[in-house]
Structure 1
Amino acid sequence: MNGSPLPDGSLGIGWRREICGMVAALDGIGFCEVIAESLAAGNSGRRRRAGVTVPEELGELVARGITAVPHGVSLSLGGAEIVDDRRVAHLAECARALGSPVVSEHIAFVRAGGLEAGHLLPVPRTREALDALERNIFRASRQLDVPLAVENIAALFEWPDAEYTEAEFLQELVERTGVYLLLDIANVYANARNTSRDPLTELLRLPAERVAYCHIAGGHESGGRYIDTHVHQVPAEVLDLVAEFATGRSVPLMLERDGNYPPATELAAELNAIAAASGRAPITLRAKAIPA
């Protein structure tokens, strides 16, 4: 089960309602990613498919042949509690509605003891945590019609008494479950920088053969810590990592942006910086795009 389920060598972007017009005007993207929890009961101007309401603009993008990937944020795969079957069912319905070849979630927990964190929290890198992830990944995968990819998250701290490095932890998770990785290169950079490790060394230790696609995003330094924000431009250091990892590989690459959206020309330029770093053809912005 090696090789990505997404188009080889493709560039993608996170689909958000705030920039749906800009995304529609990009020629050359091969896929987009939509937050699964944003696809729910809808209003007028939207259409229901497979029990999920798909925004009209997203449906038009899929009709053009752009692959859409549902990206979950609430399964809590890394939690001690058994994953909620209703949340998994929603993720599966999103994939059916969009005709998606893969779905993704996070190596994280978001709730415990009935309390919601409202944030993706890092799991301790222990055998016990691997056992919980293995159980929940298998339970979720049995209810999905398509493969699951799980994302490494950014963390400002590490749990004490770790039994694995991050690379070792991810490698064993892949070996135990056969799951794909959604490799967030920006998160590798953030975690390495915040723990005084070499980002490239950490990146090249990861199981590249199981990567479904990559996230690339911006961040900034605050109080001596590097914070993955998704609202800043991708820094040169992260683009350097993209060049090292993606050049010569056909792994799909995706720009994440979740706020402080720039004009269409700047968004296209940021995508093309990723294209240039990975040796891929640039995307273009159609003339009818939202004015820059």
Structure 2
Amino acid sequence: MERLPGLDWVEVVAENVCADHLPPSLAELRSRGVTVVPHGVSLGLGGAAEPDPARLARLAAVTEALGAPLVSEHLAFVRAGGLEAGHLLPVPRTREALRVVAANVRIAQRELPAPLALENIAAQLAWPGDELTEAQFLAELVERTGVRLLVDVANLHTGRVNLGVDPAAELDRLPLDALAYVHVAGGVERDGVWHDTHTHPVTAPVLEVLAALCERTDPPGVLLERDGAYPPPAELSAELDAIRRVHRTARVHREENARVRA
């Protein structure tokens, strides 16, 4: 990553970093002034139990070691009754679950040394009895806690393919004034199911969702997630350039629409 030109900032999976022993790549990036944001995957704020104090303390230490301006996690649960799911599972979107998640978020906010942003997940299923869409759930969570949002447009596309959710409708329900940053990622469809792999190229439908978001607001940052099967640097740079083009084009459209309304 440190050899790619034009990087504004990067993200690192928080659980893969030791606060007292940063990898050379991160140390190199930080020495050049590149912001590094820790992204947690195992805090489990959507579970019935309160966040584990040891996990919170470790996440806080990594955030401080990186000098990060914010830290992100997922609206998901990952464990229950001592069992680990091994995956980010959707939270039952009920009023009772909202109360529990809001309490967990407040605990995390008290312990973390930087603002917290929560991400919508790539869901393969939905629970029966949901009372809210994911966007409505997140909107109420923002209102109750002041938590910020990490909007993953690839995960919105996942919901479209797997669950029939309309990304545009979800974007309209989200409080985008709370947006911290945006994820873009590649995936693949197999037997009618979209898998958010982070190891495939970003597809046109995902970029279309990014464009829809950028036409509604100017995101503070957009990040390409790639967790493996890394292509040559030129291919990664081309994906970043495609994301930048979508961002620039949407900004032009948004400004033109604003002039027309004025």
Name 1:61's counterpart in structure 2. 29
Matches within 5 A, 1:190-209: 190-209=158-177
Cross-structure match for 2:94:
126
Aligned-residue offset at 1:203:
2.3
Q: Which structure would you say has the larger RCO, counting Cα contacts within 8 Å and 6 or more residues apart?
A: 1
Query: For 1:140, what is the secondary structure of its paired residue?
Result: helix
2: CA distance, partners of 1:134 / 1:119 = 21
Is the Cα–Cα contact under 8 Å of residues 204 and 245 in structure 1 kept in the other structure? no
Q: In structure 2, which of residues 202, 208, 211 is the aligned counterpart of residue 234 of structure 1? A: 202
Read off the aligned partner of 1:29 and give its amino acid letter: L
TM (norm. structure 2) is 0.91
Name the amino acid aligned to 2:236: L
| Equivalent position of 2:15 in the other structure | 37
Q: Is the 8 A contact 1:68 1:100 kept in 2?
A: yes
Determine the C-alpha separation between the residues in 2 that align with 1:123 and 1:52.
Answer: 33
Aligned to 1:25: 3
Displacement of 1:250 in angstroms is 4.0
Contact 2:161 2:192 in 1 (8 A): no
Q: CA deviation at 1:239?
A: 0.7
Matching residue of 1:258: 227
What secondary structure is seen at the aligned counterpart in 2 of 1:267?
helix
Distance in 2 (CA, whole Å) between partners of 1:76 and 1:115 is 12
Equivalent position of 1:178 in the other structure: 146
- Cα distance in structure 1, aligned partners of 2:173 and 2:140: 12
Q: Over residues 234-254 of structure 1, what are the superposed CA-to-partner deviations in whole Å (9 max), with x where a residue is unaligned? A: 110111121221246143100
> Over residues 66-88 of structure 1, what are the superposed CA-to-partner deviations in whole Å (9 max), with x where a residue is unaligned?
00001111111000011101111
Aligned-pair distance for 1:224? Answer: 1.1
- Check 1:250–1:153 CA distance in 2 against 1; reply closer, same or farther (3 A cut): closer
Q: Which runs of 5+ in 1 are unaligned?
A: 1-22, 41-50, 281-292
CA distance in 2, matches of 1:231, 1:83: 30
SS of 2:189's equivalent in the other structure is: strand
Measure the CA separation in 1 of the matches of 2:151 and 2:44. Answer: 18
What amino acid is the match of 1:125? R
Q: Deviations for 1:12-51, whole angstroms, at most 9, x for unmatched residues?
A: xxxxxxxxxxx112222211001111112xxxxxxxxxx5
Q: Spell out, residue by residue over 1:213-256, the C-alpha distance to the aligned partner (whole angstroms, 9 max, x if none).
A: 00000111112111211111111011112122124614310000
CA distance in structure 2 between the partners assigned to 1:222 and 1:202 by the alignment: 24
**Which is further off, 265-274 or 200-209?**
200-209
Identity, % of aligned positions: 54
1:269 to 211, 235, 238: 238
Say if 2:153 and 2:209, in contact at 8 Å, map to a contact too. yes
User: In 2, distance between residues paired with 1:143 and 1:64?
Assistant: 29
Higher helix share: 2
Which of residues 117, 120, 136 in structure 1 aligns to 2:104?
136
Q: Counterparts of 1:167 and 1:134 in 2: how far apart (Å)? A: 15
Structure 2 contact 122–196 (Cα < 8 Å) conserved: yes
Looking at structure 1, the residues matched to 70 and 219 of structure 2 have their Cα atoms a distance apart, in angstroms, of 17
Structure 1 length as normaliser, TM-score? 0.82
Matched letter for residue 258 of structure 1: D
Q: 2:156 aligns with which of 163, 188, 191?
A: 188
**SS state of the match for residue 21, structure 2?**
strand
Taking the aligned partners of 1:233 and 1:199, their CA distance within structure 2 comes to 20
Map 1:97-176 → 2, pairs under 5 A: 97-176=65-144
Amino acid of the structure 2 residue aligned with 1:92: A
- Give the corresponding residue for 1:221: 189
Aligned length: 248
Q: Is the 8 A contact 2:14 2:40 kept in 1?
A: yes
Computed over aligned residues only, the root mean square deviation of the Cα atoms, in angstroms, reads 1.3
Task: State whether structure 2 residue 49 is matched by structure 1 residue 71.
Answer: no
